[in-house]
Structure 1
């Protein structure tokens, strides 16, 4: 894939579904890593969902402190390691997680941003913060996959920030995740319209 192809998938108008462009830094990193088209499309879909979640949290729970820009960067690069392990684009595997974190560090990305490549599938690990949870949540709900354990952790952070009961936050989060999930088929179609790398 050429640099122009990567930039086009990362930033051009997507039509249906309308997806926010990836941050310029993320697009450049994906280009440098030689990310295949389907990976760039996946990251764009997850980034768009992360942006929706960030906006919702900021509007509904302004007392919850987290780095919104870090969430967006993390969502845009969390699977960059799949450029090195392309079989994990269409099948299971965890090699891309640490490989992605190490790749970002080699490219000069600060550790506090590179971490998302390694933490997006381990939301119960010690030291997991709100930003990590939101990246993990976006990486699930983009395709309408619901993970009760992960959602409960997000609910606990929301309830802890403003004192409203967890059941109330559960209902509010469920409502927004259901709404986001309704766009999953269009996001999946967009992702699969981009080719996998040749083996």
Structure 2
């Protein structure tokens, strides 16, 4: 039965329709016996990340953004919660380093495993546009707006493209407002799956 719930969290169409996780991530979640709610959450964040990174690519075609890294990062950012399921319903950051280590142990490169450890912090000097997009997806999927995160993303886009920050801010704000409009339905999808089957 637990794997049936996990399979439904990974495969149910969702409302709004949610894209499936990359097969590599779905297989890893199955092998770990991940909580169904975690799989549903990762799908919701991954789905928003697709929208974000594709918007950046369409608006800034000359900006080099590693789309695959963003999508894999969004799909695995909370994987450490398989080891710390209490953090699915309460606060905590133990899942971050645990997730990075788990991904490294399963053959992910450090460049891809880092998102599990960095998605909750965007203040470091080594933060990339990819990191900012994963962190933004992890907030806006539930319509949470974080001004300092959004400011960093706006500055990164403006610096990379030469556009004025106010112009980038207006465009980013419009996008995040649009993405946030489906937050209640994404939250309902996630809540339909148990933490502990």
User: Normalising by structure 2, what TM-score?
Assistant: 0.96
CA distance in 2, matches of 1:122, 1:172: 23
* Matching residue of 2:166: 167
Distance in 2 of aligned mates of 1:125 and 1:7:
37
- For 1:62 and 1:103, the matched residues in 2 are separated by 34
> Quick one: distance in 2 between partners of 1:91 and 1:130?
28
Contact in 2 for aligned 1:6/1:27 (Cα 8 Å): no
Name structure 2 gaps, 5 residues minimum: none
The alignment status of 1:111 with 2:110, answered yes or no, reads yes
**CA deviations over 1:71-110 (Å, ceiling 9, x no partner):** 0000001000001001000000000000000000011111
Which residue pairs with 1:196 in the alignment? 195
- Shift of the alpha carbon at 1:6? 2.9
State whether residues 154 and 165 of structure 2, in contact with CA within 8 Å, keep that contact through their aligned partners in structure 1: yes
Pairwise CA RMSD = 1.3
Whether contact under 8 Å (1:63, 1:161) holds in the other structure is: no
Aligned to 1:93: 92
Tell me whether 14-23 or 129-138 shows the greater mean CA deviation: 14-23
State the partner residue of 1:53: 52
**Counterpart in the other structure of 2:136:** 137
Residues 141, 183 of structure 2: 8 Å contact kept:
yes
Partner residue in 2 for 1:176? 175
2:63 matched residue in structure 1? 64
Superposition deviation, residue 8 in structure 1: 3.7
Structure 2 match to 1:43: 42
Deviation at 1:197, TM superposition (A): 1.1
CA shift, 1:4, in A, is 5.1
Shift of residue 31, structure 1, vs aligned partner: 1.4
Counterparts of 1:146-165 in structure 2 under 5 Å?
146-165=145-164
Aligned residue number for residue 33 of structure 1: 32
Mapped to 2, the partners of 1:8 and 1:103 lie a distance apart of 24
Q: Structure 2 vs 1, CA of residues 194 and 13 (structure 1 numbering), >3 Å: closer, same or farther?
A: closer
Q: Is the 8 A contact 2:9 2:37 kept in 1?
A: no
Q: TM-score, normalised by structure 1?
A: 0.95
Could you list the runs of 5+ residues in structure 1 that have no partner in the other structure? none
